[in-house]
Amino acid sequence: MWENGIFQNCAFLVQLLNKSPAVKRAVLVNGGDSAAVSDGLMLQGSGIAVLSLAEALQSLDVVIEMSSLLPGEWVAAFRSRGGRVAWMRVGNDYVIDIERAMFGKPAGSLVSDKKYDAVWTLVQYVRSCADYFALTTRAPVKFLPHLWTPYFFDRGIAGLPKDQPFGYQPGRRRWRVSIFEPNMCMVKTSFVPMLVCEEAYRAQPGFLEHLRVMNTLHIKDHVTFLHFARSLDVVSHGITSFEGRVPTYAQLAHDGDCIVSHQWENEQNYLYYEALYGGYPLVHNSALLKDYGYYYPEFEAQQGGQVLLDAFQRHDTELASYREKAKALLAQLDVANPANVEAYTRELLALYD
């Protein structure tokens, strides 16, 4: 479940559709090779049913392609019996597809001749992906709300050691900062967050206890990254470490006070919601969330460093109001929010126009 955000997104969409007055039943379809669903997907007790492709072909009216790609012959057979097909695209596939083609990476979301009734996607991709999606699929592109609830996150938190509670703890003289960008694609990398921390550290070294740069084991020895990192005081002074992949809640509970983040055309991230849910200071550049956390614009790392220091000065005294604002945002994302249910119901019915 924690491998990437798309698995959670699939589950959240099923939970929302089961609240729609237009839906009799919403399920997950197992598009993989295994007949069994992995325990790692944390679906036990969720009430979410899982069908095989064969069962789905005979029993569903609508299928939403999301995490895995449906075989072309399956889609053709499903449509021949009157089924409708939407493609829910929740990654910046414009950038991902270009990178995979140019740099010899395994293929990702593939353009094909499959017939879709609509492409559903998120507001964060209006600029970079709208025409890419529309022209390659020959289908209308609809922008829908991003969904998040703490359902799975709370289950992860419940497994933490008792002496490592999740949630921001005020009163520390120095902050332990974490960077969680996956470094798998241009849209989310650690470079700008490291520069943000560098700017803050040069201005006020005493604020930083250490910096953990997660998800970097696969690039930490690359000569370009190595030279970049060694140019920074936060690295040469020995207060930065480069780490593997750890769930957000586990890293923050064990060793984190603040998240510094950066994205490029990918402004809606579960990482942000998880940080806000725990009351942690989130230093970020998402214009869609500029009223939440601590915002710096675009690639302006020097300004980001000043924003980080501002957060360090203000966060403890403003923690109550920070939590209230975060709570209001997370309520907007909830699968039970009537506005979200109405938006998805509207586009579901539009598949039959």
304 contact partners, CB below 8 Å, separation of at least 6 = 192, 193, 195, 196, 199, 260, 262, 283, 285, 296
pLDDT digits (tens, 9 = 90+) for 126-165: 999 999 999 999 999 999 999 999 999 999 999 999 999 9
pLDDT digits (tens, 9 = 90+) for 288-343: 999 999 999 999 999 999 999 999 999 999 999 999 999 999 999 999 999 999 99
216 three-state secondary structure: coil
Which DSSP state fits 317? T
- CA separation for the pair 243, 217 (Å, rounded): 6
**166 and 278 Cβ atoms separated by less than 8 Å:** yes
- CA separation for the pair 149, 139 (Å, rounded): 30
CA distances from 249 to 70, 209, 266 (A): 33, 19, 21
C-alpha of 317 from chain center: 29
- CA separation for the pair 329, 129 (Å, rounded): 25
- CA separation for the pair 54, 68 (Å, rounded): 15
Comparing C-alpha atoms, which of 293, 60, 98 is closest to residue 186? 98
Percent of the chain with pLDDT over 70: 95
pLDDT confidence band for 35 (50 / 70 / 90)? low
Complete DSSP assignment for 170-187? ---SSEEEEE----SBTT
Q: Identify the pLDDT of residue 41.
A: 67
- CA separation for the pair 351, 87 (Å, rounded): 11
1 contact partners, CB below 8 Å, separation of at least 6 = 7, 8, 40, 41, 42, 152
Q: Dihedrals φ, ψ of 266, to 5°?
A: -155, 65
**133 and 100 Cβ atoms separated by less than 8 Å:** no
**What is the pTM assigned to this prediction?**
0.94
86 three-state secondary structure: strand
